A and B are shown apart, each in its own frame.
Chain A
Amino acid sequence: MIYNLPFIAVVAMILIGLYAVLFKRNLVKMVIGISIIESGVNLFLITLGYRWWGENGGVAPIFTSAPSEAVKNAPESMVLPVPQALTLTSIVIGVAVLALMLSLVMHLYKHYGTLDIIKIRRMNEE
């Protein structure tokens, strides 16, 4: 079970982010919780594509000055490159969503005067 340590770290990050979204009242703390969930999902995508080889682990799929032992048995010694390319797109999408969420939180503060979601709901029901 100690060899599954990256997956246990992913589950810990997602659960901490989910706790911050469900059980906190401040709007900025909820936005921070969503950002932690996105970081956990990106880490999960990268650890899905790792390949053990030899005694030091896998080698990055780049041929510039690569060690010659890894180039000789080429497809089994290198890490899968496709999940790393898709994680780049996921990080950029996370940045775009975070920028729009923060501008909407600023707009809510200007209109209602407070950042507490229970008080905002009571002000809205009147």
Chain B
Amino acid sequence: MSEMSKIVRTLSNILFPFIMIFGLYVIAHGHLTPGGGFQGGAVVASGCIMLLVAYGSTWVFEKIKTSRLSVFESLGALGFIGTAFFGLVFGGWFFNNFLVRNGIIFNIVPKTGSTLANFNTAGVLPLMNFSVGVKVIAGLFVIVLVMGYASSLKEWKQ
């Protein structure tokens, strides 16, 4: 499909950084507030799809090949399973939380009761949130890009 007018392109250029920052905030604070990997990934993917609609799918498909985006998705899946396997190496069982009390980064246990939010808590969970977020962003963007490009080829129009 072809691109839209100049007003639509300028406004989506202005709005895209705000949507991306809000989506990354929802992904990163998954262990303190409602949210997490899947929800934040859906927010960032909808921002990317807004850019795809404004600039036309024929131009975007020549700039970004789908083979580069599938590398992103595979990195996300490997990060998730690799973190689970490290739990098997350092502890005793699969999906062990090996960074909670005796780790390097996320190793503070909060006091019981209603506390303020501390980012340094909750062991393995922020790493898993990032991996799943990257996977969901790449997956949803590739689905819409392939469907939008394939419907504008000559053999699909009747």
Chain A directly contacts chain B within the complex, with at least one CB pair under 8 Å: yes
Which A residues are within 8 Å of any B CB, using their own CB?
Answer: 60, 62-68, 71, 88, 91-92, 95, 99, 102-103, 106, 109-110, 113
Inter-subunit contact A102/B147 (CB<8 Å): yes
Inter-subunit contact A64/B143 (CB<8 Å): no
Give 17 CB contacts A-B under 8 Å. A62-B33, A62-B34, A63-B110, A63-B115, A64-B115, A64-B116, A65-B116, A65-B117, A71-B114, A88-B38, A99-B143, A103-B147, A106-B147, A106-B150, A106-B151, A106-B156, A109-B158
Shortest beta-carbon distance from B122 to chain A in Å: 12
Q: Collect the chain A residues with CB atoms within 8 Å of residue B151's CB.
A: 106
Which residue on A lies nearest to B34, using beta carbons?
A: A62
Given A88-B38, A110-B156, A113-B158, also A64-B33 (CB < 8 A): yes
Q: Collect the chain B residues with CB atoms within 8 Å of residue A92's CB.
A: 38
Can you list, as one digit per residue, whether each of B22-49 has a CB less than 8 Å from chain A (1) or not (0)? 0000000000111000100000000000
Which B residues are within 8 Å of any A CB, using their own CB?
Answer: 32-34, 38, 110, 113-117, 140, 143, 147, 150-151, 155-156, 158
Known: A60-B34, A62-B33, A113-B158. 11 other contacts (CB 8 A): A63-B115, A64-B33, A64-B115, A68-B113, A71-B114, A102-B147, A103-B147, A106-B150, A109-B158, A110-B156, A110-B158
Shortest beta-carbon distance from B5 to chain A in Å: 27
Given A99-B143, A106-B151, A110-B156, also A64-B38 (CB < 8 A): no
Q: Collect the chain A residues with CB atoms within 8 Å of residue B117's CB.
A: 64-65
A109 to B110, CA, bound (A): 57
Inter-subunit contact B114/A63 (CB<8 Å): yes
Shortest beta-carbon distance from B40 to chain A in Å: 12
Inter-subunit contact A67/B147 (CB<8 Å): no
Q: Collect the chain A residues with CB atoms within 8 Å of residue B150's CB.
A: 106
Inter-subunit contact B114/A65 (CB<8 Å): yes
A106 to B147, CA, bound (A): 9
Inter-subunit contact A63/B113 (CB<8 Å): yes
Shortest beta-carbon distance from A15 to chain B in Å: 28
A64 to B30, CA, bound (A): 12
Q: Collect the chain A residues with CB atoms within 8 Å of residue B113's CB.
A: 63, 68, 71
